[in-house]
Amino acid sequence: MKRVITLLRSLLLVLLAALLLKILVWDRRIVGEVEGVFLTYEGAVYREAGLSDWHVGERLGRVRFDDGSTAYLYTVEGEPNWLHVSFGWDGREYVRESE
């Protein structure tokens, strides 16, 4: 019984370490840049535009703005040419312009 408890405790520690690594490294990586009304992500250029009805999808990473600040970048569910930048209290939507 002690071996099972030790094994479960070790597994829990590994899972917690993986979660901490995701939070500290993966979620903080810069995947795009925003300059004015344009966002560059994976070689594609997106232009700021409003999308009236949307739902946030998968978190892609963070984008860096001209002033050095960062915000989270998300996909938009059902809209493959749109991305959403979230500031927590507000956000902006971007539509793909070119590759």
Q: What is the pLDDT of residue 17?
A: 79
Q: What is the pLDDT of residue 87?
A: 81
H-state helical runs in 1-99: 2-24
User: What does DSSP assign to residue 77?
Assistant: T
d(CA 92, CA 7): 46
Q: What is the pLDDT of residue 99?
A: 53
Q: What is the pLDDT of residue 18?
A: 77
Q: What is the pLDDT of residue 23?
A: 64
Q: What is the pLDDT of residue 26?
A: 59
Q: Which residues contact 58 (CB under 8 A, 6 or more apart)?
A: 74, 75
Q: What is the pLDDT of residue 28?
A: 65
Q: What is the pLDDT of residue 47?
A: 94
Q: What is the pTM of this model?
A: 0.69
Name the residue type at position 41. Y
The whole-number mean pLDDT for each consecutive block of 10 residues of the chain, a chain of 99 residues, reads: 86 83 67 92 91 82 90 91 86 83
Contact (CB, 8 A) for 62 and 71 = yes
